[in-house]
Structures are given as C-alpha cells and as structure tokens.
Chain A
Amino acid sequence: MGEPIAAAAAAGHTTAIPRIPREALPSPPLSAARSSAKLSALHARLSLPSRLPLETLARTLIHPSADPNPDLNNASLALLGQDLLGYYTAEHLLAHYPRLPQTVLYAAQYAYVGGKTLAAVTREWGVEAAAEPGGEVDPGLLQFKRVKPGTDISGSSAGKTKGPDGVDRSEWRLGMGMRNVSGDEFGDINASSQDAAAGVTLEDASKTFVRALVGAVYLHCGQLSTKRFYASHFLSRQLDLSTLFAFRTPTRDLSRLCAREGFEAPVARLLSETGRLSRHPVFVVGVYSGPDKLGEGAGASLDEARTRAAAAALKSWYLYSPEEVTVPSEAEGKGDQGKRWVPCMVDCGEVIA
C-alpha cells in the first residue's frame, strides 16, 4: 500500500492537502494535545496513570455541544463513566448502609456523584472552561457551547413533556415506585433531556467531563485504577448521611419499626430537665424499648424532645453499618486479583408509615 504513495511522492506528484485554519475546526486536533501545557499539568495534577494518553484526556474535555462528532467528543466516555460512578457509589452505600431508605439513598448518591458535586470537583481540579470552542483553543480547557443568556434552565428536568393523554404532569409528585423504575441513579426522570446543540451550562459540561474521565481511566487503565481514582476523588469527600434524613412522624415510624422487628413498644422517658418554669427550658428525653434505650433527644418542650429522641432512634437504625464489607466490584477479577466474596447484608427495607 505504501509503495505507490512513495513512488508518487518521489516523482513529485504529491497531492497538496489544503491547510484548514484552526479556527474552522470545531475542536482542537489531537496533535495539539501533546503541546498543551495545561493538559499535561492537569494530567500530573490528577495523578492520572501514564497509560492514559494526553489525547484521550483532551477528548474528555470536549462536550458534544462543541463537537458533534461522536469520535471526537466525550459522549461515549461519559456514558460509561456515568454507569461506573453510579455503580461504585450505589454498591458502597448499599453495602455499608444496608438499611438506608430509598430517598436517602438517592440523596446520598447525588451528593457523591451528582451534577453539582461533579461540577465542584471540576473546579477543585482546576479545570478552566473555554469561552468558545474551536480548533485554536488550548486543549487543556473544557470546551462546550454555552447556553445563551436569558435561557430558562430551571425546568430542564422531569415533567416537562406532556403525557400521551395530553396532561401536563410537571407539577405532579413522583412516587418512589416510579422513581425506582423509570429514574436514573438519582431517581430523576429525564434529567438529561437538554438539547446539546442549543448549548449547555457549565455544570452540565463539567459533569460530562468528570464522567468521561472516569470512563477513559477505566478503558485505558482497568478497573483497579478506576477504583483507586474513584476512592481518592469521590469517596474521600466527607458526607454526613444523618443530615439527609427528614422525618414527618418519627414517633409513629419508630412504633411501626419496633412492631415490625418484634421489639417492645417504644416508651419515652424524661431523663433530665432544667428551667421548666423559665423562658428557655430544656428537656432531655430517652426512647426505650424495654430496658434498651433506642435514642435520646433534647428539646425546648417535652414533645420536641420526644420527637428528637425518636428521630435519633430511627437514624441509628437506618445508619447501621456492618463492620467488614465486601462490595461486589472488589470480588471481580480473575484469580488472586479479586477479593473473596462475602455476601452483603440485605435489609427488608424501610418502614412505610
């Protein structure tokens, strides 16, 4: 195949390739990745494996709104990375907190790998965004077509479209069953139904970049490096799961829970108090199931203290974590690479009052 070309070149019959200006390209060429200082600095800053080439890193920074060519943008990598992030986060939460309610699980999932979190991660990584995508732009910049000013981006998620019967269900409250069946890893429905050609926000572009980077690391470096990258950049973020709970009737939920688990009915007992007749009294109430104290709470009134004590008892139940956990992804691999699989605890579920 090379001989005719070489012969033609030797004879002087070379075909002149028209030189396309960089500005005419939708995204930087792959050859520019090697000469970008920003890209190399990002590669080093994230401690990415050397097996991940700079060209792939440059591709993860190109949003489909900048370059619609699927071979050059990060859409496919982002799809893989999204599944990987959801998988690793879900297995971590479910294995370590097997009694988490579904709503709290969705909230924790979003807190770890949600859109706003990934955008914050992008900022922390020091990734800057280009003002306008193009071939002349430094490949180390996040490139996407920005949404035009004045565009309403608040209602971009669920319920924008009408149903087959023509009824607008945008104001309807989504049930947990529908979120479980039709929602994504965060329980949202049609969360990413935006038109990329019309432009995206910086948050969407940042989210896509982080997902694509995780996918690229998985493809080039394997699962072990991906897990290490995920643990160092996402699981290392501190998240207080107890703040994600919101009980409406904690006392009733606790009674149902005790009834379901075969415990004695919970009893609230006043442990201590101060300033009952003063302007700011404080009551400390404990919730007991027989001789066992389930929870304790303090409040300005007896009812408030009892409610807080019941909520504390419910949180201590739902936030139970086994001591030794083997997540499914750790057991993957052949031979000695994978850990021995120990089945995880599976809870019967939350109490539905």
Chain B
Amino acid sequence: MRRLPRLQQSIDLLLESTGYPHAPSTMCRTCRLRAASQARRAAFSTSAPRYKGSLTDRLRNRLFKKEDAPGTGNLAYGVAQPQAPEVEVDDSVPGEEAPREYANQYEPASTWDNLEWVGGKKSKRDRTDTREEVQWFMPRTKATKPNDIAAAVRRALVEVLSLQEAGVHFEALRLPTVSIDDLAAEVQYQFSTNGHDVRLKYPSNEVKSELLGSVILSIPNAAEVAGSESSDAAASLEFQSTSAVVHEPASGSGKTLPWKEVPLNSANKFAVGLQSDNVMYMRLILWQIIKRVMQLTGIRLADPKIQRCDTAGKLFHELLQRPKPTKLADALKIDNELTTLNNVTFSSRRVGPIDKERQVGRWKVIERELENRGLPVTMS
C-alpha cells in the first residue's frame, strides 16, 4: 500500500533533535526533515524489499511459481538474445545516500559566470531552429496603397482568366515576380456567349502570347491535356472543367466591362439551370482569384468577406478596408475626436510605473542610486 505523504511526523522532532548526520548545511529545514523521514521510514518499513531483476523475469517466475523458471536469462527458442546490461536497482532510500554525495560534489556558485543563462537574445539565438525556413505563401508586408491593390486585383483577374481560357491548370501560375501590370491594363473583359462567365479580350495576339508566357510556367499541349484527361479517370474536378472550357468557343458577347464590374461569384447567381460541375468550377475560379490576390497583396480575407465579393470592385473594396486595430490607442486614433485635443496624450504601449516615474524626473534618481549600490536597473 502506498503511503500517504504527510509533512511531519512526531518522530521527526526526535530525529531533528539528534540531527541528520549526512545532511549538508545547504539544505533547508524542510528538506532535512524529509530526508530524515525517509531514512526512518526505511528503517521501520514493513513492506517487501524491491526485487532485483527485470520485469520479464519476475513475471515468468510468477507464472511458473518458482524462482528458476525456464527461460530465465532471456532465452528465447534456446538462443540467448542480446540482453541489455542489467541496471542495478537502487534499493537505497533517496534521501539517505544522496545527500552525502551531494555534500561532496556540490559546490555552490558564488557568481553566475559558468551558469546557464536562460532568456535574452543570445539564448533565443542558440535555441533557434536552424532548419530551412518555410517559403511563405503570402508576403509578410501588406500592400496599403490603393493603386497597388487595384493593380494586384487586375493582375489576378488577367492571370486566372487567361489560364482558364488557355486550359492550363491553375498550379502552373508563376510566382509573382514579373510585373505584368502594363499588359493587364490593356486587356478588356467581356461576357461570354452563354453569359455565365467572363472572357478576356486581348488587343493583339502578341499581347496574349506575351501575357501567357509571363504568367504560366510551361504551357502544356492541348493534346497532352486531352490525353491525360482520358487516361486518368480520377482527374481532378477543376481539370475536367478546365478542359471543358477549352473546348468552348472563345468569343465574347461584345459588351465590354470595366474591371470593377467583372463578376466573381456568378456561381450563386447562375446556379439555377447550371450543372453542379459548372457551379463548382465558377467557385474554383473565384477562389483562384482570391488566392492570387492574397499572394500579390499579402492581405488575408476572411470567408464572410469572400462571400460578399460579387464583383472585382467589391473585392477591391474589401481589400482596402483596414483591419480592426488591435490596440486601443490605434482604435482611438481612427476617429479624430480625441486626437485633436491637446490635453490628451496617446501611448502605443502601457504606461507603467517606470514611465510615470520618468515623467516626474524621479527615475534617473532611482537609476543613479541603484547603480551606486551595484544593483541592476530594470529598464536599461
């Protein structure tokens, strides 16, 4: 039965009076009492001593009900198996012998020179994971200028729609390293003949080829695309839809749209009368445009916002929205009601006691006195 731990027994008082001979002077009174209690418990214990040997041997002996059970010594099928060196079970009470060694080996540190330093930049640098950094999906810096965001939306529109028309998988998109803003500005948008999706109208074939060349990593052959589609029955849904789009005649209805009126979420609008594959494909295009815009601008859009983006203009509007400030000072600075007051001061961080002491000029006195006494200064 496991003994209940208790803080002190009446015998401890007697033991304390005689003194624990092995307890070093560096141990506190509680630790000394605990060590003495354990020593006394070992002396007066009625429980069976701990058995030497591995657990397997003990189980085997228990099953065969004798000490020298067959197979003892870890013999399996008559062949001696490599056995791990037997570890001597320590029967001694932890508090009995350890303090003696502790007293011999332990040397209290007087300075912190050779101690491990936890915390600070150096410790953080030592513990930093040296593996290769993961390539980020989005840039760390977010686009803030409206012109940059508008250019990113137009570029995403052109890239995704051009891939759609070319019948290329969307994974063939290049990383946004080459600027195609000039080319994207020349492209116009038209409704397709079925009125369900938008087509790009290029000013010339040179522009189209140049655009596709700068957008796509490698243009696959249409025959390869068809072959792979026929051979691979389990092709992805988007690829099937892409190939379906390829076979459509790429002619516009003639009505040119401004880029802000390009419909993005037309799948909801035209869901009635459309096949489920086509609806899924339109949503896939929307997702590809959103994903590309995120890559270009570094701005992450939440799902409810994405659902509100019916047109490219609304997407642009959602991207322009500043995120909700995380600090109270930033939130108060948005409306100029308080910033125009001269007797109100904003602080980007919490005004702590050190700041308050510094404002009244007392902190430098405290610093000086701490340095005179050789004590560390918290702030510096």
**Bound state CA distance, A44 and B342, in angstroms?**
10
Can you report 20 residue pairs joining A to B where beta carbons are below 8 Å apart? A37-B342, A37-B344, A40-B342, A40-B343, A41-B343, A44-B342, A130-B361, A131-B357, A131-B362, A132-B360, A132-B362, A132-B365, A133-B361, A134-B361, A136-B363, A136-B364, A137-B360, A138-B359, A141-B359, A141-B361
Q: Which of A35, A37, A41, A132 contacts B361 (CB 8 A)?
A: A132
Would you give the 0/1 interface string for B344-371, flagging 1 where the beta carbon is closer than 8 Å to chain A? 1100000000000111111111000000
Which residues in A have some Cβ–Cβ distance to B below 8 Å? 23, 35-38, 40-41, 44, 128, 130-134, 136-138, 141, 143
Sample of 13 further A-B pairs with CB below 8 A, known A44-B342, A136-B364: A23-B364, A37-B342, A37-B343, A40-B343, A41-B343, A131-B361, A131-B362, A131-B365, A132-B364, A134-B361, A136-B363, A137-B360, A143-B361
> In the complex, which residues of chain A have a beta carbon less than 8 angstroms from the beta carbon of B344?
37
Which residues in B have some Cβ–Cβ distance to A below 8 Å? 342-345, 357-365
CB closest residue in chain B, given A133 = B361
> In the complex, which residues of chain B have a beta carbon less than 8 angstroms from the beta carbon of A35?
345
The smallest beta-carbon distance between B353 and chain A, in angstroms, is: 13
> In the complex, which residues of chain B have a beta carbon less than 8 angstroms from the beta carbon of A131?
357, 360-362, 365
**Bound state CA distance, A132 and B365, in angstroms?**
8
The smallest beta-carbon distance between A105 and chain B, in angstroms, is: 40
> In the complex, which residues of chain A have a beta carbon less than 8 angstroms from the beta carbon of B357?
131
Q: If the complex has contacts A35-B345, A37-B343, A40-B342, are A136 and B362 also in contact, measured as CB distance less than 8 A?
A: no
- What is the total of A-B residue contacts with beta carbons within 8 Å? 43
A contacts with B: majority SS: loop
Which of B359, B361, B362 has the largest number of chain A CB atoms within 10 A?
B361
Q: If the complex has contacts A35-B345, A40-B342, A44-B343, are A136 and B365 also in contact, measured as CB distance less than 8 A?
A: no
**Bound state CA distance, A139 and B359, in angstroms?**
9
The smallest beta-carbon distance between B324 and chain A, in angstroms, is: 26
By the criterion CB–CB under 8 Å, are B343 and A130 in contact?
no
> In the complex, which residues of chain A have a beta carbon less than 8 angstroms from the beta carbon of B364?
23, 132, 134, 136
The smallest beta-carbon distance between B297 and chain A, in angstroms, is: 35
The smallest beta-carbon distance between B348 and chain A, in angstroms, is: 14
**Bound state CA distance, A40 and B344, in angstroms?**
9
The smallest beta-carbon distance between A87 and chain B, in angstroms, is: 33
> In the complex, which residues of chain B have a beta carbon less than 8 angstroms from the beta carbon of A137?
359-361
Q: If the complex has contacts A23-B364, A131-B365, are A136 and B342 also in contact, measured as CB distance less than 8 A?
A: no
> In the complex, which residues of chain B have a beta carbon less than 8 angstroms from the beta carbon of A38?
343
> In the complex, which residues of chain A have a beta carbon less than 8 angstroms from the beta carbon of B361?
130-134, 136-137, 141, 143
CB closest residue in chain A, given B357 = A131
> In the complex, which residues of chain A have a beta carbon less than 8 angstroms from the beta carbon of B343?
37-38, 40-41, 44
**Bound state CA distance, A314 and B167, in angstroms?**
115
